Chains A and B, each alone.
Chain A
Amino acid sequence: MQSNESNVKREEGLFALACQLKGSAQYEFLRNSCGSNQCLRRRVEQLLAADADRGKLVDSEFPGLTEVGFKQPVSSGDQIANYQLLRQVCHQGMGIVFLAHRKRDRRHPGRANAASVAVKVPAYGINFANCARHLELESRIISSIGDHPNLVQLIEFGYTDGGLPFLVMEWITGTSLLEQCDQRGLGLSARMAALADVCVTVEHVHRAGYIHCDIKPANIMASMCGGRLKTTLIDFGIAQPLGNRGVQHALARGCRAAGTLTYMSPEQAGDKAVDLDVRSDVYALGCVMHELIHGQPPGKSKTFSISDPVLDKILRTALAQNRTRRFVGVGELRQAIEDWLEQKE
């Protein structure tokens, strides 16, 4: 049978359908659809046989020339600058985070050597260049927000000899705020008090001129510290300067898929290019609040089965679809939560 474009298209169509069938059903299908065209039928059967062979397309072990897809630039066991990567912890925004140990520093032998740190490198993929640029931006943002006890601390930003950017941050022990609350069986008041703390941190970020843009339970770490729940806000991977309509926003949009839509404000998740403001973070905090109360983020139904009318009202205000109806800032949200806490006492 002659191979030309229309023949191949026909083979492709039949092949796709036949792939979904097995045994006699497949046989029947081919018999019916090929009719008297024996050549076509034999050809599709030939292709199905080739398909059944799951071996690689290319046998020679050219590294990377496989059907596996992307390999990451670094992996556990590798060393980056002075850091030994121990294990991959998570994909965070546009990067991969490793738990790492600082190697012994010969110039400062007295320094604690096996200090745990988190090392973030850009994830390979089609977005690699953007990821790498973002990592740089992230380091600049964290350092310009400045120290805060409830914010992840930046240790170092640099490039490897091969040109791979890396970001080193303090290693935060503990688990996410939600897990911590569940594990310790914390009641509503304790949960709301913790959330108020998170609000204070986010207010600090806003005062420094940035919006976090990716507030969600996984980015709020918590641990017990002196009998008190201490929260730490992490991952500034898609944070943005406030009042910035231009490039940064376009960049963040390019990698939006890396963020989590569930906790994203409608204006951030939408297609229209709007200038985001602090109310976007207010919405995300509302989602976290919902999850702290109900165990899950707000669904599409928008029905809160809530027993406390005051909390219900706070949630509705924080989660208003139209941002003009939300709290004007995180401070107002925090104030409402604190008022509720006071009333409870």
Chain B
Amino acid sequence: MGRVTELIRSINRGDDTSAELFSMVYEDLRRIARHKMSGESPGHTLQPTALVNETFLKLFRDNCVSWQDRLHFFRAASEAMRRILIDNARRKNRLKRGGKSRQVPLLETVASTARHPGDDGCDLIDLHEALLEFATVAPENAELVQLHVFSSLTIEECAGLLGVSKSTAERRWRFSRAWLKDRMAN
């Protein structure tokens, strides 16, 4: 049994090892992203979906994974993906403001994949902040948004993971989307 499976089992037993699970998934995501980018030409696009899925495949190759396990994984992965993207957008902003360029371990490359060179990733940071606020007033909906947006799971897949019907998930997504848009606009 792999370390990840062990961690998930212990979460299921009620132990709080989610932080360790997160850091493992985070590290793996970064490693895989770097590996993928190393052989690619500049401007090559990296897809969070592909990254998350490959990480999943790598970590669970030899294990039978239950739905409960998957939820834990995708929670950690979407959180990791969010952090990677946000750190990156912030770094870009810093650079733009004339900050000193420092060695950035990962996804430098993700930044360079934005198709508009002038794009500073602000709306991503806006979304991140709106989502943090949303999580305090509608935690279940915020989790759905996080899974959908940062792991690129379809609404139907999120529904399956969260154990709600597809129509419930769709209804929640529609509301969440409106809520976040409204918050980001103001």
Using a CB–CB cutoff of 8 Å, the interface residues on chain A facing chain B are: 3-5, 7-9, 11-12, 15-16, 19, 46-51, 53, 57-71, 73, 124-126, 128-130, 132-133, 162-163, 247, 250-251
Instruction: Tell me, in angstroms, the Cα distance from A48 to B179 when the chains sit together.
Output: 9
Whole-angstrom distance between the Cβ of A13 and the nearest chain B Cβ = 9
Chain B, Cβ-Cβ closest to A12: B175
Instruction: Tell me, in angstroms, the Cα distance from A311 to B122 when the chains sit together.
Output: 69
Report B-chain residues with C-beta under 8 Å of the C-beta of A11.
175, 179
Using a CB–CB cutoff of 8 Å, the interface residues on chain B facing chain A are: 36, 45-50, 53-54, 56-58, 60-61, 64-65, 70, 74, 85, 89, 110, 113-116, 119, 121-124, 127, 137-138, 141, 148-150, 152-155, 157, 160-161, 171-172, 174-175, 177-182, 185
Interface contact B53-A8, CB-CB below 8 Å: no
Interface contact A60-B114, CB-CB below 8 Å: yes
Contacts A8-B138, A12-B138, A59-B123; is A64 near B178 (CB within 8 Å)?
Answer: no
Instruction: Tell me, in angstroms, the Cα distance from A53 to B185 when the chains sit together.
Output: 11
Interface contact A61-B116, CB-CB below 8 Å: yes
Q: Give the residue of A60, A133, A247 whose beta carbon is less than 8 angstroms from that of B116.
A: A60
Instruction: Tell me, in angstroms, the Cα distance from A48 to B157 when the chains sit together.
Output: 26
Whole-angstrom distance between the Cβ of B177 and the nearest chain A Cβ = 6
Instruction: Tell me, in angstroms, the Cα distance from A48 to B177 when the chains sit together.
Output: 11
Interface contact A47-B149, CB-CB below 8 Å: no
Interface contact A16-B36, CB-CB below 8 Å: no
Dominant SS among interface residues on chain B = helix
Q: Give the residue of A16, A71, A128, A251 whose beta carbon is less than 8 angstroms from that of B171.
A: A16
Instruction: Tell me, in angstroms, the Cα distance from A130 to B63 when the chains sit together.
Output: 9
Instruction: Tell me, in angstroms, the Cα distance from A65 to B177 when the chains sit together.
Output: 14
Report B-chain residues with C-beta under 8 Å of the C-beta of A250.
64
Interface contact A65-B57, CB-CB below 8 Å: no
Whole-angstrom distance between the Cβ of B108 and the nearest chain A Cβ = 14
Chain A, Cβ-Cβ closest to B120: A60
Report A-chain residues with C-beta under 8 Å of the C-beta of B48.
62-65
Interface contact A63-B45, CB-CB below 8 Å: yes
Interface contact B49-A163, CB-CB below 8 Å: no
Chain A, Cβ-Cβ closest to B127: A58
Interface contact A128-B85, CB-CB below 8 Å: no
Report B-chain residues with C-beta under 8 Å of the C-beta of A73.
50, 53
Interface contact B137-A8, CB-CB below 8 Å: yes
Interface contact B57-A5, CB-CB below 8 Å: no
Interface contact A163-B113, CB-CB below 8 Å: no
Interface contact B154-A60, CB-CB below 8 Å: no
A–B complex contacts, Cβ < 8 Å, 16 sampled? A7-B137, A8-B138, A12-B138, A51-B177, A57-B149, A57-B180, A58-B124, A58-B149, A60-B114, A64-B48, A65-B85, A65-B152, A71-B50, A124-B49, A126-B160, A163-B58
Instruction: Tell me, in angstroms, the Cα distance from A317 to B47 when the chains sit together.
Output: 52
Whole-angstrom distance between the Cβ of A32 and the nearest chain B Cβ = 20
Whole-angstrom distance between the Cβ of A165 and the nearest chain B Cβ = 9
Interface contact A126-B161, CB-CB below 8 Å: yes
Interface contact A62-B149, CB-CB below 8 Å: no
Whole-angstrom distance between the Cβ of A226 and the nearest chain B Cβ = 44
Report B-chain residues with C-beta under 8 Å of the C-beta of A251.
64
